[in-house]
Structure 1
Amino acid sequence: MAPDFAKAMSLIDAAHAEDPKRIPIQTDTDGCSSPPAVSTDANPIRNRNPDPLDSHSSDPDAGEAATSTIPYELHYARKMTAYLQQHTAQASGLLSVAVRAQHLRRWEIPRSSYPDGRRGYLAWRTFLKKRQGALARDMCLEAGFTTHEADRVASLIAKEGLKMKKKKKTGQGQGQGEGEGEGEGGDEDDDDDDDDDDDDDDEVQILEDVACLVFLDDQFDAFERGIGDEDKILAILRKTWAKMGPRGRELALAMRMSGRARELVEKALAGDAYNDGGGGGGGAAAAAGAAVCRRAAVPGREGKRHLHWPI
């Protein structure tokens, strides 16, 4: 029996819709809560409802409130899907499901449930990845996936097989960029590094790119205000850049950002510590990108800029 991708997505979105934290639906042209429509003719999930809010009787605030607010994790999941479609238009169904389930029921395990400090933070993140993968695996099995397919979704969510480069190539070790926010960008722990090139997984890299893009687009401004330490923010941005592949970097450099975010990204990519030849060739590209950023920021809507940097 073929896996029912539409059912898996519906189960995942129904869980997201139970997140008690709600945010206003943004109806501007950025489409933050309502991503732009993307053709899905080549996508095995093409038959699912394009608007998850239309199909959730389990939404605790269904009705009038659902037209003006959205559960945060459903918003996050939709952003993840929108960036996946921009990044890899013909992504596999298993990757599409894993991307959608990236933060599955995450609100149930807050950061405060683990001790303060880096050790507590890493333990929290490790547990979240395993738990989210296990929950998604159960939903996939309910939707008719084989055990192998469901295990693959869980493996993607846990980011198994990802060859991280931040310590080897950027020279950044522990103690730099260890932000304890809840984004998926530069605050990822360093203990996931895998030095075996043969274990690198292209689909895991795509998921990592997408998570970093959502962090930069949807979470970075609030994250930066919460940290309040520019040096630490710059280290986090460099780590985020080092974690991304070429396509992810291309999308990041074309992203619409606030003026403050643009300033910080320019500093991060132009910094001497970053441009020392590391980052898998990213240093030279970052230097060129920062220079173009200074020359070619195109005014957008009030308070925003489009960044056009070469990779």
Structure 2
Amino acid sequence: MTPFQNASQRIDAENAQDPNSEIVQSKTYPKELLYSTRMYEKLLDFFPNASQEVQIAAKAQHICRWKMPRESYTMDRIGYLKWREDLKKFHAKTTATILEECGYSQEFIDRVSFLIEKKLLKKDEETQLLEDVICLVFLEHYFDPFVHKHDREKMKNIILKTWNKMSDNGHQEALKINYSAENLELIKEALGL
């Protein structure tokens, strides 16, 4: 087994322990394992030549996220931002431990951590690639449930924030997603298209 296969299997094994589940087409999946699979598949679909560092960062983007629940922070904007920042560090550290045990070099591990922590967004091509994939996975798989939870104005704000994080290539890919007619109308309205 290659170090990459070993690391991928270890990440999957960690995410498979998620006590939260999601049902897709009558099949139940551990929530973060499903997210990890969606991230990895979208990355390879969107950018087949992605480096191993980006591939691992995509798979490990939410590794063991349930261990740091949102409710353990104050339920305000400051609490939310602190939770997000701590999560990035937690995901990077958890992944780094796995990569060390799989025999990866410190340089490789540092690069994966850099990507998971989303450093130099808009300046680093691979950080931007990862962010595009995160946004595409959100729009394809998690946008519709969001629409039912929030009012139209809040959703337009979420769409704009998501759009502004993406590259031009990401935008083109996002417009190819098969949205419901209502959601596509909402997206176009938010973006002024």
Q: Secondary structure at 2:179's aligned position in 1? A: strand
Find the counterpart in structure 2 of residue 85 from structure 1.
Answer: 44
Residue 232 of structure 1 corresponds to which residue in structure 2? 154
Give the equivalent residue in structure 2 for 1:201: 124
Partner of 1:263: 185
CA distance in structure 1 between the partners assigned to 2:73 and 2:180 by the alignment: 32
Moved over 4 A (4+): none
Q: How many residues align?
A: 192
Amino acid at match of 2:125: D
Is this contact kept in 2: 1:104–1:135, CA < 8 A? yes
Pick one of 167, 173, 181 that aligns with 1:245: 167
SS at match of 1:160: coil
- Which deviations, in whole Å up to 9, do the C-alpha atoms of 1:181-212 show, x marking residues without a partner? xxxxxxxxxxxxxxxxxxx1000000000000
Structure-1 residue corresponding to 2:56: 97
CA distance in 2, matches of 1:223, 1:71: 20
Match of 1:138 among 97, 114, 117: 97
Q: Which residue of 2 aligns with 1:112?
A: 71
Residue type of the alignment partner of 1:75: L
Residue 210 in structure 1 maps to residue 169 in structure 2:
no
Residue matched to 1:223: 146
One-letter identity of the residue aligned with 1:238: L
Q: In the alignment, residue 13 of structure 2 is paired with which amino acid? A: A
Shift of 1:85: 1.0
1:80–1:210 contact (8 Å) kept in structure 2: yes
Q: Rg larger in 1 or in 2?
A: 1
Matched residues in 1 for 2:97 and 2:75: separation? 31
In structure 2, the gaps of 5 or more residues are: none
SS at match of 1:206: helix
* Secondary structure of the corresponding residue to residue 257 of structure 1: coil
Give the letter for the 2:66 counterpart. Answer: W
Alpha-carbon distance in structure 1 between the residues aligned to 2:24 and 2:138: 18
More helix by share: 2
Using structure 1 for the length normalisation, give the TM-score.
Answer: 0.60
CA distance in 1, matches of 2:119, 2:112: 10
Q: Which of these residues, 108, 113, 126, is aligned with residue 149 of structure 1?
A: 108
Look up the match of 2:6: 7
1:159 equivalent in alignment to 2:118: yes
The alignment's C-alpha RMSD in Å is 1.3
> Aligned partners of 2:161 and 2:130: how far apart in 1?
16
**Residue identity (%):** 41
- Scaled by the length of structure 2, the TM-score of the pair is 0.95
Which among 71, 85, 100 is matched to residue 126 of structure 1? 85
For 2:138 and 2:23, how far apart are their aligned partners in 1? 18
